[in-house]
Chain A
Amino acid sequence: MQPEKSLTDTEFIALRDFIYKKTGILFSERNRYLLDARTREILSQARDKNAVSYIRSLCGPGGDPLEVNRLINKVTITETSFFRDPHQIAALTKNVIPEVAARHEQFGSRLLRIWSAGSSSGEEAYTVAILLAEHLKGRLSDWNITIFATDINEDAIEACKAGVYKPYTLRNVPRDLQEKYFLATSDGRFAVRDEIKRLVFAERSSLTDPAACKKYSGVDLILLRNVLIYFTTDAKTAVLQSCYENLRDNGYLFLGQSETAFGINHSFKLVTFVNAFAYKKPLPR
């Protein structure tokens, strides 16, 4: 078998610049391998299998917007799973969710908003919904909960709306929770039960569009995990600023487990949990 063809430098730059212009997402040299892997199929179907001429065809007068969408959907797809990163899950379960819920109870407001930003196909948003349901036990229906799941990738948002998953993405879900919150489908997959599904509101949205981000304001918790790596420093600054503005006082932002907001945003307070970090919006002085 022939080894898979990798992108040449010229091809990589052409693709990188086009995607950056369309989405604000930047595939740096560090993430070149991702762009390479994610465009392989599309390029193998392209007329002369060359990224430079493929991009040229998309930009030209006969460029097909559907093909542009297809490319964007291919390159922005990310793998995720339920109950990813046990330490962050523990911090949410033992600290953040009880604290946020208690604060609302204290002020007699049961309106809770959460934002899963760069949600991919929704596993993270539904995980938080399950954690909330577990914390609130039988009182879930007393609360008005909205978990926004946004992503730039249309395919991912459609998958989130469908809420049906392959068994592999459920591998970290404890057995009792799997039985409680999922229904097995006839084709061997698992559908999120309605009581959880109705908490999540999924839509396509770009994080680099500050006006669009304003829609997800007044939230108590933002999950922005493993998303910043795709942005330039300026875009990172803007995205974190949007998160800061969208959070309520004392709200929490979670980044990916190896990411930090240091040097990008100094308004947050870093909270260290057991093997996990979160950024808290402090009360105004």
Chain B
Amino acid sequence: MSKTLRQRIEAIRTYLPPIPGVFAELAQLLHDENVDLRVLGLVIGKDPAMSINVLRIANSAFYGLPNKVKTIEHAVTMLGLKEITGVCMACAAARSFKARTGEQHVDLHAFWLHSVATGVLARTFASRFRVQQQGQAYLAGLLHDIGQLILDRFLHDLYKQVVQLTYDENIPVIEAEVRVLGESHGTVGGWLMDKWQLPPLFSEVATCHHTVSKASEENRLIVATVSLADQIARLRGFGFGGDETGVILEDTEAFRTIQQAQPSMGELDIARFIMDLDRTDFDIASIEEMMNAT
């Protein structure tokens, strides 16, 4: 089954549909010929789907760059206004892929909020844990669950069974995926990122964020950082799906990996650390507010 699934994923050619709020904001910005590309980058960077679409083109063979494009700022500057407008127009067509009304599907707003929250927390943690690839932490966090969006959009009939199962049995989504699909959203996200020639760091984060020890030594710390951010985002109420299980964070692979690199983590009052993340909650809430205003 997994080979067929992989082939189906790798055959995806269309762009991923952006979150409506971000799309509306982008459409508005693109009306202005003199739009500041940095502003455009900031808006694109609020949406996992638009971010991966832009990274896909910037890293495509067409541009044939010797080094991978790892940030949205770089991708936007490189592609320019015309190309970005082209992606947005193509995305307008991709929006028709949305689920039929009345069906059980991934709650897109919750998915988006979880992605942003994971990105914001990953950025905070990467700086605190002195992770080398600090600059990519936000984007890696934003994109870590892209496999779920892919599955929900392109294999919707199968994925709605997964979503239902997490609600019915209060089990982690990954457990439901393996039961229904035989693969996790992490693996699926990684397949498409590799196919689209994104920097390996992103596909490794997506693939291994539930199995940190399988990450390469080079990227293990950033994978662990995003994995911890993913869990803490859910535990601070930025989760989606029915999973409300508790976690002993100090026993997770993510925590142990970070602790190996930063032995001072052993002295961390985890409860207080999580309670004190109000500042990041504020950052996340202000992004959400901007979205709701559009």
Contact = CB atoms under 8 A, between A and B. Distances in A.
A273 B270 CA distance: 12
Interface in B86-143: none
A269 B251 CA distance: 9
Contacts of B270: 262, 270, 272
A273 B245 CA distance: 6
> On chain B, which size bracket covers the interface?
20 to 34
B247 interface: yes
A90 B244 CA distance: 9
Contacts of B239: 274
A271 B248 CA distance: 5
A146 interface: no
A274 B272 contact: no
Interface string B224-257: 0000000010111101000011111111000000
Interface string A79-94: 0000000000011001
Contact of B235 (A261, A263, A275, A278): A275
Contact of A277 (B234, B250, B251, B271): B271
Interface string A254-265: 000010111100
B269 A263 contact: yes
A95 B250 contact: no
Which of A258, A277, A280 neighbours the largest number of chain B CB atoms within 10 Å of its CB? A277
B65 interface: no
B275 interface: yes
A95 B244 contact: yes
Top 8 nearest A-B pairs (CB, nearest first) are: A262-B269, A273-B246, A260-B271, A271-B246, A272-B235, A277-B271, A269-B248, A94-B244
Interface of A: 90-91, 94-95, 258, 260-263, 269-275, 277-278, 280
Interface of B: 170, 232, 234-237, 239, 244-251, 269-272, 274-275
14 contacts: A94-B170, A95-B245, A260-B271, A260-B272, A269-B248, A272-B247, A272-B249, A272-B274, A273-B235, A274-B237, A274-B239, A274-B244, A277-B271, A278-B246
